[in-house]
Structure 1
Amino acid sequence: MNDLTGITVIEADGEDLGSFTHRHAKTVDEELARTGAVLVRDAAADGADTFRRALDGLGFAPLDYTERSTPRSEVGDGVFTSTEYPAREAIPQHCESSYAGAWPGRVGFFCATPPLTGGATPIADVARVLSDIPAEVVRAVESRGLRYVRNYGSGVGLDWREAFQTDSREEVDRFCAAGGLEWTWVEDDGLRTVRRAPALVAHPRTGQQIWFNHLLLFHQSSLPGSLRTDLVALFGADGLPNDVLFGDGEPIPDDMVAAVRSAFGRRAQRFDWALNDLLVIDNMRWSHGREAFTGDRRILVSMSDLITRADLPEPVAPSA
């Protein structure tokens, strides 16, 4: 067992992955508490069923994926495909569901089919990222907060039925009311939601202040090529499927987001997926993203340990 670029790597030496995690759950838990990211390599597995048994060994109680922001397919009880965006597109760094009122504490990834080229899942220590972001950017987002605006049903992005996993408007109403979302039903069977949330929070175990938000993934500047211009022309600046603004509704300048993107680029750690790799991360210590790829990449994902904003402590100021 050794640490490589901040990730604890454990070799399974060809053992069945499900059996391995049952026998070594304590070691994985200890390393996850220490480094926040554990990669189990060189295991034997047979797809989603083995992944599910491996999660059982680690005490995962898989969560439903609600208030979705990206397309996925469920392939088993609490096991999903990773985001089904075109292979040519990279996915910016983010902590899973950090835009929502609740999110997973642990996320497990399993490599069922490695890509031919590219396709890594880079991860970044969000406390260290925070220390690299220019102070003026941190002050701005910390003092003003963030405002996530989402529009469902335009034909671009997710329909509200897929995002909330229901055909019932009444169920969506209840979910939004209980989860702190502002929501409006609009014409053409559309839905618009707004959530105000902090950009920085405290880790529930350590109290350490961390960068925990969806700024990179939701900001307009992350849209590839001319897509941003085309979507704004089609739907208006406030009609995009996903967007993030300052809490008062003012746009966040592109150069601020670029500075955050640079900080993540400096801190991101990557490895090439190998068949049957299992990666488990603390979702509030490490963000993740996706490189563009070629070939038939298939990464499965499961989430556990629900955390809500009410669970968060007051942050401990970062050390000088």
Structure 2
Amino acid sequence: MNDLTGISVLEADGAGLEPFTRRHAQQIEEAVAENGAVLIRGARAEGTEDFGRALKHLGFAPLAYTERSTPRSEVDDGVFTSTEYPAREVIPQHCESSYAGAWPGRLAFFCAVPARTGGATPITDVSKVLDAVPAEVVESVERRGLRYVRNYGSGVGLDWRDAFQTDSRDDVNRFCAQSGMEWEWLEDDCLRTTRHAPALAVHPRTGRRLWFNHLVLFHQSSLRPEVREALVAVLGEDGLPNDVLFGDGSPIPDETVAAVRSAFDRCQRRFDWELHDLMVIDNMRWSHGREAFTGERRVLVSMTDLITRS
């Protein structure tokens, strides 16, 4: 089922992606400012190069992907593959890098190869999510805050060298110190980082309060039960690649996260990718995820407009 409610759709009618974005750059910018999401459909493109040229017309100064949480490959300057998880895996809704001290204000997705089945990138208006989450849950997470605990180098998840894009422990130490993280080097060349962050944010332009965090994606309950049990048995409760707790370190109940997940499900918008679709979203207004899929599926992403947590 396709549901594009709240998303601006511009039909290119077979025009080249690069000239279309050049001619309609202001219209696209206004659509993102108004609705936070725009889909350009029906354009022709020659691949990554056309995507990169379109990004320049849209004012993108592509960001590097630092403090990574998922595996990606950089295919061009500031252009990455979307998360390289197995096709059977569903990626829950999240705002890019909302666990971090800085994040991109805008994202652009380009469909180079649509999946045979599934593979949508559903998006969700996180202001509506905030309204849909039970008031007692909002009050609890806002008052107590969140604590993100991440472990690198156990053989599960990312190695710290991949996550921070460096081979130098000193570089990692400086990054953590400058971004307000606690960190600890463990045995066997492993690293653990801890970041305290609020569960909500205020949009810098609209002033609207938003549900802006990685609670659903990082919480243990997002893992399949058998995977969760096996990882905890091997790595320990505090050894998972990604985890999120209340700010004081106490566990967040599964039912709390289930209530938030339900709010996302009720507010979500999704559509099937078509060849050479280009979607631009405000990363603080819309979360995104990924459905499981069959076939080759190749969706590229670029990030711009760095926002730093104040």
Are 1:165 and 2:172 matched, yes or no?
A: no
Q: CA deviation at 1:73?
A: 0.3
Aligned to 1:101: 101
Match of 1:314 in 2: none
Give the corresponding residue for 2:142: 142
CA contact (8 A) 2:4 2:271 kept: no
2:37 paired residue number: 37
Q: Which residue of 1 aligns with 2:175?
A: 175
Aligned to 1:196: 196
Question: How many residues of Structure 1 are paired with residues of Structure 2 in the alignment?
Answer: 308
SS in 2 for 1:60: coil
Counterpart Cα distance in 1 of 2:246 and 2:169? 29
Q: Deviations over 1:159-191 (max 9, x none)?
A: 000000000000001100101110011100000
Q: Which amino acid letter does the alignment assign opposite residue 47 of structure 1?
A: G
Return the alpha-carbon distance in structure 1 between the equivalents of residues 56 and 12 of structure 2.
17
What displacement does 1:89 show? 0.5
Q: How many Å apart are 1:154 and its aligned residue?
A: 0.2
Asked whether the 8 Å contact 2:4–2:269 carries over to 1, the reply is: no
Amino acid at match of 2:258: A
- Residue identity in the other structure for 1:252: I
Note the 1:23-62 alignment, pairs <5 A.
23-62=23-62
Instruction: Please give the residue correspondences for 1:61-100 in structure 2 after superposition, counting only pairs within 5 Å.
Output: 61-100=61-100
* Corresponding residue number in structure 2 for 1:154: 154
d(CA) in 1 for partners of 2:302, 2:18: 15
Secondary structure in structure 1 of the residue aligned to 2:230: helix
Q: State the SS of the aligned residue for 1:266.
A: helix
Q: Which residue of 2 aligns with 1:315?
A: none
Residue 236 of structure 1 is matched in structure 2 by: 236
C-alpha deviation, 1:19, in angstroms? 1.1
Amino acid at match of 2:280: V
Instruction: Please report how far the alpha carbon of residue 4 of structure 1 lies from its aligned counterpart in structure 2 after TM superposition.
Output: 3.3
SS of 1:300 mapped into structure 2 = strand
Runs in 1 of length 4+ with deviation above 4 angstroms?
A: none
Aligned-partner Cα distance in 2 for 1:34–1:180? 33
Structure 2 residues without counterparts, runs of 5 or longer: none
Corresponding residue for 2:206? 206
2:299 — aligned with what?
299
Residue of structure 2 equivalent to 1:16:
16
Q: Deviations over 1:76-112 (max 9, x none)?
A: 0000000000000100000000000000000000000
TM-score by length of 1: 0.95
Q: Identity percentage over the alignment?
A: 73
1 CA distance for matches of 2:9 and 2:201? 28
- Structure 2 equivalent of residue 278 of structure 1: 278
Equivalent position of 1:119 in the other structure = 119
**Distance (whole Å) between structure 1 residues aligned to residue 195 and residue 22 of structure 2:** 39
- Extract unaligned runs of 5+ from structure 1: 311-320
Query: Aligned pair 1:129/2:129, yes or no?
Result: yes
Task: For 1:150 and 1:225, locate their aligned partners in 2 and report how far apart those are by CA, in whole Å.
Answer: 20
Question: d(CA) in 2 for partners of 1:252 and 1:98?
Answer: 18
Answer yes or no: is the 8 Å Cα contact 2:113–2:298 preserved in 1.
yes
Give the C-alpha shift of residue 283 in structure 1. Answer: 0.1
Distance 1:225 1:211 in 2: 26
Alpha-carbon distance between aligned partners in 1 of 2:168 and 2:233, rounded to the nearest angstrom? 31
